[in-house]
Structure 1
Amino acid sequence: MSSERVELRGSDYQVRLALYEGSLRGLLDLMRRGEIAPEEVPLAQIGREYLAYLQGLAAPEPDREGEAVLTYALLMWTKLQSLLPGEPEPPDEELDEEEIRELLERHQSRYRQVQQASEWLAARAEAAKRSLPRPAGSPAEVPPEPPPEVLPQEPLDPQLLIEGLRRVLARLPREVEPPTRPIDWPAIVRRVRQRLAAGRQVLFEELVAGASRREVIASFLALLELVRLGEARVWQEELFGPIYVTPCEVVVRP
């Protein structure tokens, strides 16, 4: 078993790694100051363990977890920025959700351009290799299979699922009035199950259409619980693309 783990103490999400122990915000600050190299931070592991924590909550509090989710999105952006060529942009002390969305989309576009350039160079190298005459007696080259029209529905990486939540929240207006009623957790779970009862795939955005910010986060946590129970699965066709939710086979309940 790995010696690294992530814990949550009270309302403060605590990261415990070999290279760092503390809050997500503290980890973000150290990465921005260059005291911790972004490539050394296992964000996928942190995301998985944080989601495991959320799935274990009997009654998650969306307001309490929202800041951790947004900070995780900033960690993703900071790590993505470190993988791109050029000088890094100066860090901003405070970023709202709309700014986070714009930063992630801009840097994802830059990363996609670099990736496409790498693929083009690899294709050119392969074409040059194929143009060379083959020695006598060498086996005929088997043509590559055409790419599938529909990408395989692989399970979604936890950090991309969190990005989907952040993207939905960025489109919603800010709630100026403090909430007066607690979230009805069983009702939220029932509503998500009802939306999946038709047996077809739906967009995560459709799943939470018309919901408030607090209800969107609660629905996100409910979806994680259904994934854990094997009642639903999530997937996407491309990085940072729309997130689809598909019901699994029917589960017989007592």
Structure 2
Amino acid sequence: MTNDPASDANQDNQATPDAAPVHAAPAGPRQQEMPLAMVHGQPVLQIPQDLYIPPDALEVILDAFEGPLDLLLYLIRRQNLEILDIPVAEITRQYVDYIQAMHEMRFELAAEYLVMAAILAEIKSRMLLPRAVNEEGDEEDPRAELVRRLQEYERFKKAAEDIDALPRQDRDTAPAQAFVPDRASVRLPPEVDLREMLLALHDVFKRAELYTQHAIKRDALSVRQRMGELLTRLEDGAFHRFESLFEAREGKLGVVVTFLGLLTLAKEQLVDIVQEAPLAPIYVKSLAIGTDPTEIQLSSEFDEAANDDA
């Protein structure tokens, strides 16, 4: 048998299409599907067929989105899409896939998710129809209102994240709690300079001279007795002016006896003599509050000297 070259060529031409692989035209870029979960860092796109879930098992699904706008913003930013030029068809498909996945897992979605799905479907249909022309002669973009809402939501979300990053009490800082007992401050009166007392005594002497009388005999005055009289006058516990404790009618002798009585009481810590500032009034207060003056044993080394002067 002889082979016909023409027939062989025809057979070769007919076999060539069957031998060569047929390459289909590359389809358009398909967006990556949103995973249902992440396991060990790997995305899970669908539930495994051999996964056994008991009928009474507790199903817990964490929804990471705060609303439909948050979901749309996630889909746009994850794919590095321009928010001003949203591919409505692809975003709508992914959004509807998410809702269907939630329904399959018996997850109750809020009504606002379904409302957004209807809005996306409306925008998708309006994109296919001739667009209306506004007063300026420009075609109205059906996506304009959705873009505005997304931009506004993104600004508020960024502001909320910035605020949440700030230090927060009881989360980042804890207030120091230290119990400090209440302490009543005691203000000690200033001490009196002896020179100030002598100046005040000099003024009392001047007033006593106005009542100086010519007397043939004067009664002997006792420093111890005057100390008791002073404690009786001061038993109210209040501050008394230094000058008010002297009786100018008693003359110089009475002034001296009263002054010596005050010095003795101050020495025995039975009275407190204070002065706020230099040349300020001097005040005297009893420290024997609640004690009967007659029960206090009083003695003075000036009694004999006072009686001798009398």
TM (norm. structure 1) is 0.37
* Structure exhibiting the larger radius of gyration computed from Cα positions: 2
Flag the structure with more relative contact order, 1 or 2, with Cα contacts below 8 A and sequence separation at least 6.
Answer: 1
Q: Comparing both structures, which one devotes a greater share of its residues to helix?
A: 1
TM (norm. structure 2) is 0.30
